[in-house]
Amino acid sequence: MSESIKPGRVAVIDIGKTNAKVVVIDTGSGEEIAGEKRTNPVLRNGPYPHYDVEMLWDFILSALWRFGQKPGFDAISITTHGASAALLDENGDLALPVLDYEHIYPEPVQEAYRGIRPDFAETGSPQLPAGLNLGAQIHFQKEAFPDDFSRVRSIVTYPQYWAGRLTGVLATETTSLGCHTDLWNPRRKGFSSLVKRLDIAHLMSPVRSAFDVLGTIRPSLAQETGLSPHMPVYCGIHDSNASLLPHLLRRDGDFSVVSTGTWVVNFAIGGTADTLDPARDTLLNVDALGRPVPSSRFMGGREYEMLAQQLEPAKEDEIETALGKVIAKGMMLLPSIVSGSGPFPEKTACWRSDENATAAERHAAAALYLALMTEFSLSLIGRKGPILVEGPFASNALYLKALAGFAETEVTAVEGSTGTSAGAALLTGIKPLAGRERHFTLHDIPGLVSYRDVWRSCLA
């Protein structure tokens, strides 16, 4: 397919930390017209916890085979979670398993890494726990497994690992390099000093644009899947940046995007880059156009899952009714449910004024908690203008109303096939379509600003 001809349908490989999916997006309507999803478990065997890339590969090829028959597609694009890379040997196979970024290394290894990682001023990347700094992963793999590491000939970022398996072309890309890896200098748009300190400059695969066609699908895979040998495969993009991309292409002025999933990642277009606080999980991300973007994060999706497991079930109308009581008596949940990251990494979660609370009240307070964490994280990056919410939280009306009240601005929930998959589809050159939008204003729930102020005062 000529690059000048825009595809009618795009197959998107979307590997999240919790789930993986393959979808087909109709570029005329922006809708997902086919899709398959599965969990993405971490394997505990081998040298360390790692992703089951062979299971994912079989899942991907099976879905591409089925969707190639019906409904069909004209191009393949890729998006994955960040904080991951693949270390490849001379044959292009894994020299070491793809490390789970939540694995915690021995303290001597962590201390040694702290001694070599660049300053926040250089990378815009805060020091994060476990392997959330990709540089820490590579340092651990090099120090703990020197024989295996000696076989490494190429390092590729995670979306490009899958693109490489499809095309045979190896690459890295700036949205994955620029998401708190310690490996990238976003202002200079090049590798950081850490790459030299780790002596891996010769291993880093060429940096390509997310919009590049890396190549066509390998002939053996074309035969295996029944796809055209001319099927183009695009370089790929970090998932939160995929969510940001449609708005960068459609909107002018200042705005913020809240990309929700396992992580809640906030981007402030027009925000403040010079006063970021690395101790509060603020950072510079790099967008698909290569520009630094003030960002903040907390593990909101994971926290929601943990809360859901702890709380007794309650009906949606009961939770809505309980909200007024929760605000009136000042019942609230204080952070952090997941410690070690987010705006309050050293805090331990606790309830306040929750005596004899019903299940519905706890659910209401949990929604308020997630909205408060989002609003506070946005305030740390100097957000301006409206707030756009994507992903699973875009369907949580109580969270959206609360966020509008806490932030004292309009919040827009963008639903449908927006987010990571649709953003990745835009790499093929198609124009972004407006998703289904719902608008929430600060007038929906009284008393939220005072509630926010009390919550913040409890954390001062």
Q: What pLDDT, in 10s, does the model give residues 356-375?
A: 999 999 999 999 999 999 99
Q: How confident is the model at residue 1 (pLDDT cuts 50, 70, 90)?
A: very low
The verdict on whether omega for the bond into residue 186 sits within 30 degrees of 0, i.e. cis, is no
For residue 444, pLDDT over 80 is answered with: no
For residue 92, pLDDT over 50 is answered with: yes
Question: What is the pLDDT averaged over residues 5-13?
Answer: 92
**Does the fold of domain 241-459 match that of domain 9-235?**
yes
Q: Which amino acid is at 209?
A: S
Q: For residues 166 and 215, what is the distance between their CA atoms, to the nearest angstrom?
A: 9
pLDDT at 416: 59
Residue partners of 306: CB distance under 8 A and separation at least 6 = 337, 338
For residue 29, pLDDT over 90 is answered with: no
Q: Of 168, 177, 211, whose CA–CA distance to 84 is shortest?
A: 177
Domain map (residue ranges) of the chain: 9-235, 241-459
pLDDT at 276: 95
pLDDT at 31: 87
Q: For residues 376 and 403, what is the distance between their CA atoms, to the nearest angstrom?
A: 10
Query: What's the mean pLDDT when you consider all of the chain?
Result: 94
Structure letter (DSSP) for residue 380? T
For residue 408, pLDDT over 90 is answered with: yes
For residue 284, pLDDT over 70 is answered with: yes
C-beta atoms surrounding 360 within 10 Å? 23
For residue 448, pLDDT over 60 is answered with: yes
CATH number of 241-459: 3.30.420.40
CB 129 within 8 A of CB 80: no
CB 445 within 8 A of CB 327: yes
Q: How confident is the model at residue 4 (pLDDT cuts 50, 70, 90)?
A: low
For residue 94, pLDDT over 80 is answered with: yes
Q: Of 25, 159, 165, whose CA–CA distance to 84 is shortest?
A: 159
Phi, psi values for residue 45, rounded to 5°? -90, 180
Considering the four listed CATH numbers 3.40.190.10, 3.40.50.300, 3.30.420.40, 3.50.50.60, the one that applies to the domain covering 9-235 is 3.30.420.40
Question: What is the pLDDT averaged over residues 98-103?
Answer: 97
C-beta atoms surrounding 37 within 10 Å? 14
Q: For residues 374 and 300, what is the distance between their CA atoms, to the nearest angstrom?
A: 8
Q: How confident is the model at residue 442 (pLDDT cuts 50, 70, 90)?
A: confident
Q: How confident is the model at residue 2 (pLDDT cuts 50, 70, 90)?
A: very low
Q: Counting Cβ atoms within 10 Å, is residue 170 exposed (0-12), middle (13-18) or buried (19+)?
A: buried
The total number of residues shown for the chain amounts to 460
pTM of the prediction? 0.86
The string of DSSP codes covering 194-243 is HHHHTT-TTTBPPEE-TT-EEEEPPHHHHHHH---TT-EEE--EEHHHHH
For residue 43, pLDDT over 80 is answered with: yes
Give the three-state DSSP class for 382: coil
pLDDT at 349: 96
Q: Which two tokens stand for residue 320?
A: 């809505």
The string of DSSP codes covering 57-92 is HHHHHHHHHHHHHTT--SEEEEEE-SS-EEEE-TTS
pLDDT at 3: 47
pLDDT in tens, 193-241: 999 999 999 999 999 999 999 999 999 999 999 999 999 999 999 998 9
Q: Which helix or strand (DSSP H or E) is residue 22 part of?
A: strand 19-26
For residue 287, pLDDT over 70 is answered with: yes
For residue 58, pLDDT over 60 is answered with: yes
Q: How confident is the model at residue 186 (pLDDT cuts 50, 70, 90)?
A: very high
pLDDT in tens, 244-261: 999 999 899 999 999 898
Q: Which two tokens stand for residue 96?
A: 């070491």
Phi, psi values for residue 413, rounded to 5°? -90, 120
For residue 5, pLDDT over 80 is answered with: no
